[in-house]
Amino acid sequence: MDRFALLVADLGALINVPLHLDTKRMCRLSINQDLHVQIQEEEEKERLLIATFIGNVPPGKYRENVFKETLKENNLFPRMATFAYSERNNQLALFTHLYLANLSGDKLADFLGLFFERAFSWKTALETGQWPRRGETVQKTGPSIFDIKKL
């Protein structure tokens, strides 16, 4: 097995979910069937791409405010992930890169826990018409790394 496949298998062993790469060499995860996260290796750059669509952005002034807030979030340093918008499917997305050097299943699990918390915080914000303060989350309780299911 290569390094990426071993890392995914190690993560799966930690959370008691048998994880593996699909035919496109991606690992797709579902959190409470509400959030779908994709982990993919960018082999030439020796890093992982971790990404999820958070939710639809309603039209109007709220959309404008969401975009302003996510631009502010993207300007934070350090920043754990970057917000993007997919015009094609009207979805707010969150993505990041993790370098493979010194990355273990434990470190990946810890990072994914924070990533999920951030994504769910913004998902809640979109659903309730508010948003977190910069760098914070709307709620501290939510799904955890142990709520992962293989897609």
What distance separates the 2 farthest-apart alpha carbons in the chain?
A: 50
Identify the pLDDT of residue 147. Answer: 62
Identify the pLDDT of residue 26. Answer: 95
The string of pLDDT tens digits covering residues 16-47 is 999 999 999 999 999 888 899 999 999 899 99
Question: With respect to CATH, is domain 3-150 assigned 3.30.1460.10?
Answer: yes
**Under 8 Å CB-to-CB from 93, ≥6 apart: which residues?**
51, 52, 53, 54, 83, 84, 85, 86
E-state strands within the chain? 26-31, 35-42, 47-56, 82-86, 91-99, 148-150
Identify the pLDDT of residue 32. Answer: 84
**Phi, psi at residue 50, to the nearest 5°?**
-120, 125
Query: pTM value?
Result: 0.86
**Which residue ranges of the chain lie beneath pLDDT 70?**
1, 133-151
- Convert 18-52 to b/e letters by CB count within 10 Å (16 or more is b): ebebeeeeebebebeeebebbbbbeeeeebbebbb
